[in-house]
Chain A
Amino acid sequence: MLEVKDLHVTVEGSEILKGLNLTIGAGEVHAIMGPNGAGKSTLSAVIAGKDGYEVTHGTITFEGRDVLEMEIEERARKGLLLGFQYPVEIPGVKNIYLLKAALNAKREAEGLGEIPAPEFMKLIKEKIAFMQMDASFLQRAVNEGFSGGEKKRNEILQMLVLQPRLAMLDEIDSGLDIDAMKVVAKGVNSLRAEDRGILLVTHYQRLLDYIVPDQVHVLVDGRIVKSGDADLARELEDRGYDWLLEGSAA
């Protein structure tokens, strides 16, 4: 589904990713862990298409297509969706408008017409209830004045409505208390499906107690230095990253 090969990325003149390889297949949940500054957020930002990241070498392909050749919005319409660590506040744009415009953009790309209003409302009603959100959220401006937990729930709500092929979640657990984390994890787990990939980027193992990954990768200094199953995450919780940092320096 997603294949990242020997990816080198430079930000403002310094190399952040230094030859990263990653393959995610349909139905798989991958977690990328690593210390601060390892390049975790850079990877998801490059895949989503954020400005300011220069790919100097390597390829990213998604379902056979060259991702780096696609416009940001095209990536989203094809099902590559990023949940932000720090969701942006968009004053004046109502949540419900964002959801509807985004869903219709995707449907248009798929050759479907605009979603009929009753069908849309039924869908939204079901998803906000699932995320334990109040319907008043729909009328509020996107993320404006939302608490940290509300912003993260909102990111997952967008995923549930847009049903991506590959969901990338950047530090979706940061700033969440345990109850909010459970709701967010429930949302993510509901996305698990045969034909969908999920990529979790996280600093802490805690999230992985609630969303159990198929594979865990440790990213250190721009490269994946170790991969394993869910047990690797637990080992990192016990031992920290230092033993791997030494390995990478050697």
Chain B
Amino acid sequence: MNDDVQRFLDRLTERNATRGPEPTWIAARRQAGAARFEALGFPHRRIENWKYTDVRDIARHDFALAGDADFSPAAAAALTLPLDGHRLTFVDGVFAPALSDLGDLPDGVQLMPLSQALEDNHEAVGGPLGRLTGVEFSPFAALNTAFMEEGAVVRLAPRTVVEKPIVLQFLSRAGEQAVMSHPRILIEAGGRSQATVVEHHVGEEGAANFTNLVEEIILERGAILTHYKLQEAPIQDRHVASIQVEQARDSRYTSFNLNLGGGLVRNDLVSDLNGQGAETTFQGLFYGQGRQHVDNHTLVNHNAPHTTSRENYKGILDDRAHGVFNGKVIVKRDSQKIEAEQSNANLLLSDRAEIDTKPELEIYADDVKCAHGATTGQLDEEAIYALRTRGIDAQTARGLLTLAFAGEVMERVDLDAVAERVELTVAGKLPERFNLAGLVETATALNEE
């Protein structure tokens, strides 16, 4: 066995030695995860799916597991999104009750750390856990399974409409010893339930940890879920996320996959459209600077007729950043009358930035409507000049145009707190909120006069 794999398994053995009594099924599942990870090893670039992403920066490191969730409340407050929501916070993967807010949960909503769900009711969690994003998903999903113990569980009873966003916050600490965490997020949205989940990855400057996330999202018939994933981890953090969504008839899933941070980032997002009328929308934005590497792999499985998928990913790369977009759509043989749209546009702000983009369509049905396209370009110097001749400084002009490029994605972001973070990172400090919701409303009112 490879030394790298062994090092991770040694950490697992250490961890397992500290565990108290547990039901056998969870230990068996961890064991299956470890066995699968051992068999697969870390992915290398000769594997098609990992062609552009080198994970040696993860594999060669020795990451410990965090032992506590200590975090200064003031520092945490500065990182927390100003959102009025129900909140779970994890520090380096460890649940932090003091930084969480579980008061006023509406009827029909269960929100708790995975450790508590396991303690309270093993059976209910045991069923879905690992059913979607299982050990076969990827070596990282197998590794996560080997370590699984903490994360977030969100359950919505049928017809429950949650007004406030559910915020899952993951904080990464700076320290002498880099740590790893393997959180799992399990979301089960009952029939016709409706909610917004905001997943936020952020941390202290100088942190250089490894987050290996697995998410399983189940949408029952008619459920509507909006899922923001705002990843603004410290610039040396490694972030790997494996997300699988299962959608029943007439359900609607919208993902905003917003990646601003992290040194090495890989997202795998899969949606299975299993029932007629199911609809999935993938909105993505990735911004890379310095030597950041951001890889987004998405897959939509049109497993049923009359299903719809829309995908729009925008990449902005500066300095020597490297972006990867791979968007795959598979239409099964009997999935007639489906609609699939996909687009990826990239903006290169420097000569040394790089993007690898690849749309893939596999269509086995004959009555379908599919479209895809990919473009890559640079900022329009004429437009920068035009803005400067109106008194707007060069830096603001560039920021404005960069943000305008991301506009199609950002104008659909309903949460100001999220949009503002993106704006600040991508465009720097602008005179005011770019979308100017208030002004536009006033202009509309004027128009109606």
Residues of chain B with a CB closer than 8 A to A84's CB: 386
* Contact, CB under 8 Å: A117 / B442: yes
Residue from the set A50, A97, A121, A124 with the largest chain B CB neighbour count within 10 Å: A97
- Given contact pairs A49-B388, A71-B394, A84-B386, enumerate 16 new A-B contacts (beta carbons under 8 Å): A51-B385, A71-B393, A72-B385, A73-B391, A82-B389, A90-B404, A93-B404, A97-B436, A101-B396, A102-B390, A105-B396, A114-B431, A117-B438, A134-B447, A139-B444, A162-B391
Residues of chain B with a CB closer than 8 A to A145's CB: none
Question: A-B pairs with CB below 8 Å: how many?
Answer: 118
* Given known A-B contacts A87-B386, A90-B383, A90-B401, A117 and B392 have beta carbons under 8 A apart: no
* Contact, CB under 8 Å: B386 / A73: no
* Contact, CB under 8 Å: A97 / B389: no
Residue from the set B381, B390, B434 with the largest chain A CB neighbour count within 10 Å: B390
The 7 closest A-B pairs by CB, nearest first: A92-B404, A76-B391, A135-B447, A102-B390, A105-B391, A88-B386, A72-B388
Minimum CB distance partner of B448 in chain A? A135
* Given known A-B contacts A101-B400, A105-B392, A125-B446, A88 and B383 have beta carbons under 8 A apart: yes
C-alpha spacing A88/B401, complex, angstroms:
13
* Given known A-B contacts A93-B401, A94-B436, A121-B446, A88 and B382 have beta carbons under 8 A apart: yes
* In the assembled complex, B443 has its CB within 8 A of some CB on chain A: yes
C-alpha spacing A184/B444, complex, angstroms:
25
Q: Would you give 20 A-B contacts (Cβ < 8 Å), ordered by A? A: A49-B389, A50-B385, A76-B388, A88-B380, A90-B401, A92-B403, A92-B408, A93-B383, A93-B387, A93-B401, A94-B436, A94-B440, A97-B400, A100-B439, A102-B391, A104-B431, A121-B442, A121-B443, A141-B404, A142-B386
Which residues of chain B from 383 to 423 have any CB-CB distance to chain A below 8 Å in the complex? Answer: 383, 385-394, 396, 400-401, 403-405, 407-408
Residue from the set A77, A135, A142 with the largest chain B CB neighbour count within 10 Å: A135
User: Contacting B447 at CB < 8 Å: which of A48, A82, A136?
Assistant: A136
Residues of chain A with a CB closer than 8 A to B405's CB: 92
* Given known A-B contacts A90-B401, A92-B407, A96-B436, A106 and B442 have beta carbons under 8 A apart: no
A241 to chain B, nearest CB (A): 29
* Contact, CB under 8 Å: B386 / A92: no
* In the assembled complex, A109 has its CB within 8 A of some CB on chain B: yes
Residues of chain B with a CB closer than 8 A to A162's CB: 390-391
C-alpha spacing A48/B434, complex, angstroms:
26
User: Contacting B391 at CB < 8 Å: which of A97, A106, A117, A124?
Assistant: A106
Residues of chain A with a CB closer than 8 A to B408's CB: 92
* In the assembled complex, A67 has its CB within 8 A of some CB on chain B: no
* In the assembled complex, A81 has its CB within 8 A of some CB on chain B: yes
Minimum CB distance partner of B442 in chain A? A121
Which residues of chain A from 156 to 213 have any CB-CB distance to chain B below 8 Å in the complex? Answer: 158, 162
* In the assembled complex, A98 has its CB within 8 A of some CB on chain B: yes
User: Contacting B390 at CB < 8 Å: which of A76, A92, A136?
Assistant: A76
Question: Which residues of chain A have a CB within 8 Å of any CB of chain B?
Answer: 48-51, 71-73, 75-77, 81-82, 84, 87-94, 96-98, 100-102, 104-106, 109, 114, 117, 120-121, 124-125, 134-136, 138-139, 141-142, 158, 162
Residues of chain B with a CB closer than 8 A to A81's CB: 389-390
C-alpha spacing A112/B164, complex, angstroms:
39
* Contact, CB under 8 Å: B388 / A73: yes
Residues of chain B with a CB closer than 8 A to A97's CB: 400, 434, 436, 439
* Contact, CB under 8 Å: B443 / A101: no
Residues of chain A with a CB closer than 8 A to B14's CB: none
B104 to chain A, nearest CB (A): 34
C-alpha spacing A78/B203, complex, angstroms:
43
* Contact, CB under 8 Å: A105 / B447: no
C-alpha spacing A29/B391, complex, angstroms:
23
Question: Which residues of chain B have a CB within 8 Å of any CB of chain A?
Answer: 380-383, 385-394, 396, 400-401, 403-405, 407-408, 430-432, 434, 436, 438-440, 442-444, 446-447
Residues of chain A with a CB closer than 8 A to B447's CB: 134-136
Residues of chain B with a CB closer than 8 A to A91's CB: 404
Minimum CB distance partner of B440 in chain A? A139
Minimum CB distance partner of B444 in chain A? A139
* Given known A-B contacts A73-B394, A106-B391, A135 and B440 have beta carbons under 8 A apart: no
Minimum CB distance partner of A134 in chain B? B447
B343 to chain A, nearest CB (A): 15
Residue from the set A48, A82, A87, A102 with the largest chain B CB neighbour count within 10 Å: A102
B392 to chain A, nearest CB (A): 5
Residues of chain A with a CB closer than 8 A to B440's CB: 94, 96, 138-139
Residues of chain B with a CB closer than 8 A to A51's CB: 381, 385
Residues of chain B with a CB closer than 8 A to A158's CB: 390
C-alpha spacing A155/B252, complex, angstroms:
44
Minimum CB distance partner of A97 in chain B? B436
B430 to chain A, nearest CB (A): 8
Residues of chain B with a CB closer than 8 A to A50's CB: 385
* Contact, CB under 8 Å: A73 / B392: yes
* Contact, CB under 8 Å: B392 / A135: no
* Contact, CB under 8 Å: B388 / A101: no
C-alpha spacing A28/B440, complex, angstroms:
38
User: Contacting A96 at CB < 8 Å: which of B386, B394, B431, B439?
Assistant: B439
Residues of chain B with a CB closer than 8 A to A135's CB: 443-444, 446-447
C-alpha spacing A232/B440, complex, angstroms:
47
* Contact, CB under 8 Å: A98 / B401: no
Residues of chain A with a CB closer than 8 A to B381's CB: 51
User: Contacting A48 at CB < 8 Å: which of B389, B394, B407?
Assistant: B389
B102 to chain A, nearest CB (A): 38
C-alpha spacing A138/B443, complex, angstroms:
7
C-alpha spacing A120/B431, complex, angstroms:
15
C-alpha spacing A50/B439, complex, angstroms:
31
A167 to chain B, nearest CB (A): 12
